[in-house]
Structure 1
Amino acid sequence: MNVLKRGSDQDNWWQAYPGLYARELAAYEGHGASHRPLIQQDGTLILEVLWPMDSAGSIRLNVGYSPLHPFCRPSISAPELQLERHQNPFTRDLCLLTQDSAQWYPHQMVADFIAERLSQVLQVMTLRRNEQWSEAASLEEQAPDPVTPYHMHVAEEYSAVFFDGQQTVPNAPLGTAVFLLQDRLERGRSPPFQAILSKVEPLSGTWMAKPFDLPKRAGPWKNVIGRWIRLEPPFPEAPEEILAAAEKAIERQSALFPAHLKKLGSIADDDLSITAVVFQEELSYGPDNKGNGWFFLVSRRVPGSRRRQVSLVRGYRLSSDMLSRLPVASALKSKKVVLVGCGAIGSFAAVELARSGVGQLTIIDFDLVEPGNTVRWALGRSVWGLPKTTALHDFLYHNYPWTNVGRGHAKVGSAISNVDDVRKLEGNPMRWLRALIEDADIVVDTSASTECQGALAYMCRSIGKRYVLGHATEGAAGGVVARFKPGAPGCYVCLQQHWSGKTLPLPTIDSSGTIVPTGCNAPTFTGGAFDLQEVSMEVVRSTIGLLAPDVYDSGDWQLSILDLTENGRRILPRWKAETIAPHSSCSCGASQG
């Protein structure tokens, strides 16, 4: 056999490290396995290995080495082996490692790795066949092995169907399905879309299950009536073959009801037809932890032809555990936050608060998004010229539907000297602001305005609301985050007095980092988002800690001071924690004894 070899010595690891290659081959021979190369080109080496088994002769393995061997794990398939678990049913790849990359050790020979892991997998399969579940669990990763992921390599790249993880399905073999569908930007060969599986219904009778939907949807959506059918795995690999199996099952189940068959057949003839296949698969580890899995098969009429194109569309389960990666999220879903100031600090804080699952977020700012803001603002070109609150509101509305976002395009505390302008007001600004604060659980001030800070700190203390302020310093040399609890010692005025008297440290500033951009009448400071987000993230952490201290440790400090430079040079971000003691000159009450 002539094996194709191509590439420079440095491109192919077996040529760059000939000693390692020799040790790899010798390791197979040490285990009594024969080997021969199947392909050796473009950085890829695949060996065919006959691996000896104690009682069953040998197993043929295809061992594919990573182009970045020995740093990255190999791929090992057993084309003639058929396991119910720990093996891809189509590629026959063996699952000898979990997804944790730390399980692969670069110093280990692949043959030694096979000797260790293959016998363990085969032992697990024997234990599972004998229903020795606890013994099997001690040897394998306790993770589910669902059917769905093995088919996703043939799914459309840009389309998606979202469904309720607790979707109720009628006790029937088939029926109709209601989808909400929205077209996506054209990409690839098939016109992409996103859809929501709203409801599955039986063909006859009344089905009382509540339709599923996202909390909010933006843009035009349309109703599409599809079909659903129960099938049993295993399934063929090709979407066309799965749909053909579904069609046969529909015909068989509807044989006694011609009207049903006609109804489902007319759905299949639509220009775009969706057939949902529901089946049982393992959703969590264990023999009895099965639930509904879904395939979404899409059949499109080819324009100008009678032919149809069939594809598989990925389904995404939406459920209460969506935010399980962030345990504090469940404690935040009922919380209300008012954020004042949506600039370089506040825009990123707003996004992170919504991303964290805050139930209601009201954002307030008076400014517009300037092109020059791009270097340190959360959004880019598509929102230039929009009010900052509008741009953020629309982005959060589209991307974090479980957070209710309100907005106010206003400058907190601005005065008016024109009588006609006062008459145009839609009410008392003070009453509006007070109502927002009274309804909120916390106020976050990223306005970087001492006037605004003083007013909001006073109102929050008098109303009894928690207050967090955060801002960067000139030249993005440092920053400050301070948080105040109602009735706690030390207030905003105390902080200012301590700074004035130099009894609390000030953050680093770089006064040379102040500029007036061309065409602008207000100075600003230099600095990019990659530095300023240090302040934004601590603002978010402080806010979450105050909102949910039982779940997320808030820390025992009141003042956080950030330094990003020292003696004119960049340093690693350095935070100092301080306590704000009551100041003798302040009449905040906490200082009176």
Structure 2
Amino acid sequence: MGAWWDRYPDELRKEKAALDALGYPWSIDQAAMDAGQMVVRVDVPHEGGVLALTAIYPDTFPYFAPMVTTDSARFQRHQHPLGRNLCLLAREGEDWSPGHDSLATLIEEQLPAILEVNSSSAVPEVVAQTEDHVGEPLSSFLPYVPECAIIVPDETPPADVPSGRLSLCLRTTPAGRSAQCFVNGVVGSIDDMQGKPLVTFKKSIPSFDRPACGFWLRLNERPTVGTFESAGIDLFKLVEGKLPPLTKAIQAAKRDEVFVVGLTYRDEVSWRHSADDWVFLAIQVVRETKRSRPAEIRPHIVRADWGGEKAWLRRAPFLTPLRKKTALVVGLGSLGSPIVLQLARAGIGGLRLVDDDNLQVGNTVRWAMGWQYAGFQKLSALVLHVATDYPYTSVRSFNHMRIGALPNPPAGQPSQYDILKQLVTESDIVIDAAASYRVSHFLSDLARELGKPYLWLTTTHGAAGGVVGRVQPSKKMGCWHCFQRGLADGSIRLPADAGTDEVQPGGCSQPTFIGAGIDSDAIANQAARLAVATLCSGEEGGYPDFAWDVAVADLQRGGFSIAPEWTPYDLAVRQDCLDCSAQA
């Protein structure tokens, strides 16, 4: 395909006409155009001189805006500190209107706002109304090593401590990256230079299994960097000579040895709000010290990734109440496994998991995870995955527990009932994904006995429909038995059912239903939402609750797939329910 001006010749004519109408001197870089790149230069009068602009058009123009840079002026705000491009459009160009906007409209309509914001006579109230309310920390603009990051806690070291040591846990370098710098891990503790801990971050992540040491340095101000190419060296110059133990370690290092140094400093982390920020250097020794020749180093810039609880939950603050909650999930199949992951993603404080089944490759068409866990106990796979990906959630697992199965444990050991009673007692909700009528009967009664919310979910043949429901002892409402009576007399409708036969795949001791995760996940996801809402009920600022207690879903109708259609119900006390009437 040709260049954009060959595809859309009218757009090129419109660009030229708009620039002519603008009235400023402009020119096209013909050499760049011959090479397939549209570059336009425009001289804009500014403060008695000329602001020289260079516009580089993407090959996807006019759908995306030109990038406008200037080397003739340095602005404190709304200019990339390294690339010198101007932020003429907010939100990465979302305000660009293809077919209407042009380079001339950017210069005429957007450039004056940048010049006003950066003027020495700018009025703060006008600036606040003019500019997009987005912070511009230096860390947003730096060139980082791909796939490298250091996870840091919410807290930073005290401002009166100038430097110190880092305790790190790093990921092992992947195969094929031995010649490239690779630093990926988490800060375990931030210490002073004598090793006294100042900040600890005790998050054990199995994949970060290589202990390492590093250093940190507090800068008095936001660092200044020149270009993308020089940024690493510019930052290293701020470190050089300020950390004697680092200097000594580098001089004694072997080729390809890497030292991690964190730089912390005050910066604008959100609009007009300053706080400590981090950037890390991975200082790689490319030639070791030999006689009087000093070591040759190459500094790489590594991204800081904020992983403290406050930073982590800022995207969903209404989930904060879950940090103090624990859920018991019984049954970790196609419905229970995605619920476990959704609750861990939501930041629940604790999970108690019960199951007695192995994961087979065939399960993965509807199980929460894939082939790498084939042969694992489903419970073991989930425990490992949660520990690796959601370290803020603690997990206790109870494997090889098939509720109601014999034989009973030997005398003197806790019975299955004792274990389950203890689990329900220490949990804030019981989630029943076992898809067993007898198990549901038992768990619903045990939860009622102990005054705990009980939530259940099921799906139908073909995963054509499903049900989610809950009982909240704190409210005057019906129970699981009331729900069963509602199904029996039709006051609660049945979900859609594809009527498919069950199958018994190789290696399975029991037949199982036919259905795919793309359907059953809709049931599990709604159940997870209901569980989170129940756990946050009554908590200020928590996830909003639902106005119903039972919902029946259809995912198919008349042989066609449909958008999930839910019918909600209040779970009212039934007079013919012996359990509820006995308690009334």
Normalized against structure 2, the TM-score is what?
0.89
1:183 aligns with 2:169: no
* Cα shift readout 1:31-56 (whole Å, capped 9, x = no counterpart): 113231453479x6433231433654
**Compared with structure 1, are the counterparts of its residues 463 and 389 closer, same or farther at alpha carbon in structure 2 (3 Å cutoff)?**
same
1:266 aligns with 2:248: yes
Deviation at 1:566, TM superposition (A): 0.8
Paired letter, 1:328: F
CA distance in 2, matches of 1:275, 1:321: 22
Paired letter, 1:579: D
CA distance in 2, matches of 1:302, 1:137: 48
- Residue of structure 1 in register with 2:233 after alignment: 241
- Residue of structure 1 in register with 2:22 after alignment: 31
CA distance in 1, matches of 2:388, 2:362: 25
Deviation at 1:144, TM superposition (A): 1.4
Deviation at 1:511, TM superposition (A): 1.5
CA distance in 2, matches of 1:41, 1:582: 79
- Residue of structure 1 in register with 2:65 after alignment: 73
Moved more, 431-440 or 517-526: 517-526
Contact 1:186 1:192 in 2 (8 A): no
| SS at structure 2 position matched to 1:332 | helix
* Cα shift readout 1:442-462 (whole Å, capped 9, x = no counterpart): 111111111111111111112
Moved more, 451-460 or 508-517: 508-517
- Residue of structure 1 in register with 2:285 after alignment: 301
Deviation at 1:471, TM superposition (A): 1.6
Moved more, 579-588 or 567-576: 579-588
Contact 2:349 2:394 in 1 (8 A): yes
CA distance in 2, matches of 1:212, 1:116: 48
- Residue of structure 2 in register with 1:323 after alignment: 313
CA distance in 2, matches of 1:413, 1:203: 55
Deviation at 1:21, TM superposition (A): 2.2
CA distance in 2, matches of 1:104, 1:451: 60
| SS at structure 1 position matched to 2:484 | helix
- Residue of structure 2 in register with 1:114 after alignment: 107
Contact 2:151 2:185 in 1 (8 A): yes
How well do the aligned residues superpose, as a CA RMSD in angstroms?
A: 2.6
- Residue of structure 1 in register with 2:335 after alignment: 345
Contact 1:239 1:297 in 2 (8 A): no
CA distance in 2, matches of 1:30, 1:168: 56
Equivalent in 377, 380, 388 of residue 370 of structure 2:
380
Equivalent in 532, 549, 552 of residue 561 of structure 1:
552
CA distance in 2, matches of 1:303, 1:341: 57
**Compared with structure 1, are the counterparts of its residues 273 and 572 closer, same or farther at alpha carbon in structure 2 (3 Å cutoff)?**
same
- Residue of structure 2 in register with 1:430 after alignment: 417
- Residue of structure 1 in register with 2:516 after alignment: 528
Equivalent in 70, 75, 80 of residue 83 of structure 1:
75
**Compared with structure 1, are the counterparts of its residues 283 and 187 closer, same or farther at alpha carbon in structure 2 (3 Å cutoff)?**
farther
**Compared with structure 1, are the counterparts of its residues 553 and 41 closer, same or farther at alpha carbon in structure 2 (3 Å cutoff)?**
farther
Deviation at 1:572, TM superposition (A): 1.4
* Cα shift readout 1:267-304 (whole Å, capped 9, x = no counterpart): 23333222222332112322xx3232323212223488
Overall identity of the aligned pairs, in %? 24
Paired letter, 2:381: A
Deviation at 1:542, TM superposition (A): 0.3
- Mind listing any 5+ residue stretches in structure 1 that lack a counterpart? 1-6, 251-259
Contact 2:169 2:210 in 1 (8 A): yes
* Cα shift readout 1:178-209 (whole Å, capped 9, x = no counterpart): 434342423544252323334444546x8562
* Cα shift readout 1:148-190 (whole Å, capped 9, x = no counterpart): 1211x2x211222122232124525444444343424235442
Alignment of 1:410-421 (within 5 A): 410-416=400-406, 418=407
Equivalent in 543, 549, 560 of residue 552 of structure 1:
543
| SS at structure 1 position matched to 2:314 | coil
**Compared with structure 1, are the counterparts of its residues 304 and 368 closer, same or farther at alpha carbon in structure 2 (3 Å cutoff)?**
farther
**Compared with structure 1, are the counterparts of its residues 163 and 292 closer, same or farther at alpha carbon in structure 2 (3 Å cutoff)?**
same
- Residue of structure 2 in register with 1:222 after alignment: 211
Deviation at 1:394, TM superposition (A): 0.5
Equivalent in 572, 577, 580 of residue 581 of structure 1:
572
- Residue of structure 2 in register with 1:390 after alignment: 380
* Cα shift readout 1:548-589 (whole Å, capped 9, x = no counterpart): 134222211111111011112111111111223333431122
- Residue of structure 1 in register with 2:495 after alignment: 507
Contact 1:180 1:221 in 2 (8 A): yes
Deviation at 1:525, TM superposition (A): 2.1
| SS at structure 2 position matched to 1:522 | coil
CA distance in 1, matches of 2:411, 2:87: 69
- Mind listing any 5+ residue stretches in structure 2 that lack a counterpart? 290-294
- Residue of structure 2 in register with 1:468 after alignment: 455
* Cα shift readout 1:40-89 (whole Å, capped 9, x = no counterpart): 479x6433231433654543222223333332333221232211110112
* Cα shift readout 1:497-555 (whole Å, capped 9, x = no counterpart): 22122222000001225322244342222222111110111011100111113422221
Deviation at 1:488, TM superposition (A): 3.0
- Residue of structure 2 in register with 1:139 after alignment: 130
CA distance in 2, matches of 1:228, 1:178: 14
Contact 2:283 2:298 in 1 (8 A): yes
Paired letter, 1:158: E
Paired letter, 2:573: P
| SS at structure 1 position matched to 2:372 | helix
Deviation at 1:243, TM superposition (A): 5.0
| SS at structure 2 position matched to 1:552 | coil
CA distance in 2, matches of 1:303, 1:574: 66
- Residue of structure 1 in register with 2:438 after alignment: 451
CA distance in 2, matches of 1:590, 1:285: 59
**Compared with structure 1, are the counterparts of its residues 27 and 460 closer, same or farther at alpha carbon in structure 2 (3 Å cutoff)?**
same
Equivalent in 182, 198, 201 of residue 192 of structure 1:
182
Paired letter, 1:313: V
| SS at structure 2 position matched to 1:226 | strand
**Compared with structure 1, are the counterparts of its residues 423 and 394 closer, same or farther at alpha carbon in structure 2 (3 Å cutoff)?**
same
Normalized against structure 1, the TM-score is what?
0.88
Paired letter, 2:248: S
CA distance in 2, matches of 1:112, 1:225: 50
Paired letter, 1:481: V
- Count of aligned pairs: 563
* Cα shift readout 1:229-256 (whole Å, capped 9, x = no counterpart): 5364212442552354135452xxxxxx
**Compared with structure 1, are the counterparts of its residues 400 and 425 closer, same or farther at alpha carbon in structure 2 (3 Å cutoff)?**
farther
- Residue of structure 2 in register with 1:285 after alignment: 271
**Compared with structure 1, are the counterparts of its residues 510 and 58 closer, same or farther at alpha carbon in structure 2 (3 Å cutoff)?**
same
**Compared with structure 1, are the counterparts of its residues 503 and 25 closer, same or farther at alpha carbon in structure 2 (3 Å cutoff)?**
same
| SS at structure 1 position matched to 2:304 | strand
| SS at structure 2 position matched to 1:268 | helix
**Compared with structure 1, are the counterparts of its residues 40 and 376 closer, same or farther at alpha carbon in structure 2 (3 Å cutoff)?**
farther
CA distance in 2, matches of 1:453, 1:474: 19
**Compared with structure 1, are the counterparts of its residues 199 and 552 closer, same or farther at alpha carbon in structure 2 (3 Å cutoff)?**
closer
| SS at structure 1 position matched to 2:553 | strand
| SS at structure 2 position matched to 1:283 | strand
Contact 1:468 1:483 in 2 (8 A): yes
CA distance in 1, matches of 2:187, 2:409: 50
Equivalent in 123, 138, 150 of residue 116 of structure 2:
123
1:212 aligns with 2:201: yes
Contact 1:169 1:201 in 2 (8 A): no
**Compared with structure 1, are the counterparts of its residues 592 and 90 closer, same or farther at alpha carbon in structure 2 (3 Å cutoff)?**
closer
Contact 1:545 1:553 in 2 (8 A): yes
- Residue of structure 2 in register with 1:255 after alignment: none
